[in-house]
Amino acid sequence: MIEIAYAKVNLALHVRAKRPDGFHALESLFMFAEDGDVLHARAREDGGLTLVMDGPFGSLLDANDDNLVLRAARSLQMAAGVGRGADILLDKRLPVASGIGGGSADAAATLRLLARLWAIDLAQVDLQAMALSLGSDVPACLASVTQMVRGRGEVLEPQEPVGLAGRPLLLVNPRVGVSTADVFAGWDRIDRGALDASSMEALVQAGRNDLEAPARALAPVIGDILAALRGSQARLARMSGSGATCFALFDTTADMGLAADRLRRDHPGWWTMETRIRTV
d(CA 129, CA 126): 6
- Residue 103's SS3 state is helix
pTM: 0.95
The upper half-sphere exposure of residue 253, i.e. CA atoms within 13 Å in the direction of its Cβ, equals: 5
24: confidence class by pLDDT, cuts 50, 70, 90:
confident
Neighbours of 209 (CB within 10 A): 22
For residues 117-145, give the mean pLDDT.
Answer: 94
For residues 102-122, give the mean pLDDT.
Answer: 96
pLDDT of the residue at 72: 98
> For all residues of the chain together, what is the average pLDDT?
95
Task: Residue 158: name the closest of 144, 175, 138, 168 by CA.
Answer: 144
Q: Residue 160, Cα to own-chain centre: how many angstroms?
A: 17
Predicted confidence (pLDDT) per residue in 29-59, tens digit: 999 999 999 999 999 999 999 999 999 999 9
For residues 118-125, give the mean pLDDT.
Answer: 92
pLDDT at 154 over 90: no
Distances 176 to 95, 96, 116, 134 between C-alpha atoms, Å? 9, 9, 35, 24
- CATH classification of 2-158 is 3.40.50.720, yes or no? no
Predicted confidence (pLDDT) per residue in 55-66, tens digit: 999 999 999 989
- CATH classification of 168-276 is 3.30.70.890, yes or no? yes
Q: Residue 41, Cα to own-chain centre: how many angstroms?
A: 21
Task: Residue 72: name the closest of 114, 39, 24 by CA.
Answer: 114
pLDDT of the residue at 43: 98
Task: Residue 260: name the closest of 249, 274, 270, 245 by CA.
Answer: 274
- Residue 166's SS3 state is coil
- For the annotated catalytic residues, the residue numbers are 8, 137
Least-confidence region, from 6-10, 133-137, 161-165: 161-165
For residues 20-33, give the mean pLDDT.
Answer: 88
pLDDT at 160 over 90: no
Task: Residue 183: name the closest of 153, 152, 150, 210 by CA.
Answer: 210
Distances 45 to 48, 51, 84 between C-alpha atoms, Å? 8, 16, 5
241: confidence class by pLDDT, cuts 50, 70, 90:
very high
pLDDT of the residue at 232: 94
Q: Where are the domains of the chain?
A: 2-158, 168-276
**Cα distance between the two ends of the chain:** 20
pLDDT of the residue at 212: 97
198 versus 84: the higher-pLDDT residue is 84
228: confidence class by pLDDT, cuts 50, 70, 90:
very high
